[in-house]
Structure 1
């Protein structure tokens, strides 16, 4: 809380809620937003709890193994990846035209996470019988930093 109270023009917070339970972390986020609203400044928040902090973020920088892999507006990242689930042949046919971040399959059913689908692409996927769901900011970052998998499981 000292970091927030200082109201420095540039406030650096590195995992400031380490050791706090979920209720205390929520209170921390609320206090951080209240203080920011009253005293706007640049706040750099380092976190591994991405989905929990996602609503606070305006810009996302992700460093993986010393390399900057994402530098983007948080709003642009939200909804920038979609997971499609359906018959493996249908999923693979649709995915062939897009950037694949992850693919898994169990028997005849496959799941694929794709980057950059337009609203028209999503409608086409749904029309093709595929279930489309948005990928959370945390899942997107996991996929972009080597957490992607491609696996087949026989049923």
Structure 2
């Protein structure tokens, strides 16, 4: 499903959560939606899932507005950090309710995940630990088979092995049946290899939208003497620089081979570090 974001704006009184944002997500992919707290990620996901209205601009999914649109909302599953389910419902009833809503619901997968995360179907949501509630959210998100599946910090309280299992199952399900998966997380290093495209928001604006492979190939840290580095970055897009005792390190977009030809040391920049540098950048 094609998602077109056009001049999207959202205000909460005097707070501008999204500021004239435009981009397109075209077809099934795993997207990393990254940024610091308050960058506008959750607001964007709420508008995309049809839960709130924008103040200006639009989101179109296959040419239609998702707000109050049953055909689209049953194609979108948003799993948030918490408060996804009514507290008095049992796990069994949660799964039954969601199975009615999502036409492509996979009960067999839901049952497998319940066993994997050792959830008791008779337990009520209000009795679950934070990690168990997150496991239930992951179960619903994956079993929904929704063409647009959105995970917003879905694993709070899960230990590292449980998170790793989630990533493995998510990738297996995506490979067996492609869908658009939007993943917002602060544990970027753990999941960045899953991302096929990355979007970074800062103060309600998009500061980066790029394919992950291109970022891995062209985002780099170059180091050397001040003169050599300054000469190399003169015509480059510079993210950040550091200087110490006549030496400089610059974080830039470019070709590693070219930097090495200038006698510079070159290292790749992990996506998590890139996000930090971009959102620190003055005027980003």
Task: Bin the TM-score by the shorter chain.
Answer: 0.7 to 0.9
* The one of 27, 37, 52 aligned to 2:175: 37
Cα offsets for 1:3-29 (capped at 9, x unmatched): 111111111111112222222211110
Distance in 2 (CA, whole Å) between partners of 1:93 and 1:144 is: 22
Deviating above 6 A after TM superposition, structure 1's stretches of 4 or more consecutive aligned residues are none
Which secondary structure does the structure 2 equivalent of 1:79 belong to?
A: helix
Alignment of 1:64-79 (within 5 A): 64-79=202-217
Listed one character per residue, the Cα deviations across residues 30-55 of structure 1 (whole Å, up to 9, x for unaligned) are: 01111212232111111122222111
Q: Does 1:27 align with 2:161?
A: no
Aligned to 2:267: 133
1:121 maps to what in 2? 258
Separation in 2, partners of 1:39, 1:112: 41
Question: Which residue of structure 1 lines up, in the alignment, with residue 237 of structure 2?
Answer: 99
Q: How many residues get paired?
A: 144
Give the Å deviation of 1:120. Answer: 4.3
Larger Rg: 2
For residues 69 and 30 of structure 1, the distance between their equivalents in structure 2, rounded to whole angstroms, comes to 29
When the two chains are superposed, the root-mean-square deviation of aligned CA atoms in Å is: 1.9
List runs of 5+ in structure 1 lacking aligned partners. 149-155
- In structure 2, distance between residues paired with 1:32 and 1:120: 35
Shift of 1:142: 2.0
CA contact (8 A) 1:79 1:135 kept: no
Q: Secondary structure at the match of 1:19?
A: coil
Which residue does the alignment assign to 2:200? 62
Matched, 1:81 2:219: yes
Q: Distance in 2 between matches of 1:143 and 1:113?
A: 8
Which ranges in structure 2 are unaligned for 5 or more consecutive residues? Answer: 1-138
Shift of the 15–93 alpha-carbon distance from structure 1 to 2, 3 Å rule, reads same
What SS does the corresponding residue of 2:239 show, helix, strand or coil? strand
CA distance in 2, matches of 1:29, 1:147: 31
Q: Deviations over 1:49-85 (max 9, x none)?
A: 2222111111212221111222222222222211111
Q: 2:188 aligns with which of 50, 58, 72?
A: 50
Structure 2 Cα separation of the partners of residues 99 and 71 of structure 1:
15
Cα distance between partner residues in 2 of 1:17 and 1:142: 22
What is the alpha-carbon distance in structure 2 between the residues aligned to residue 59 and residue 95 of structure 1? 26
Contact 1:84 1:132 in 2 (8 A): yes
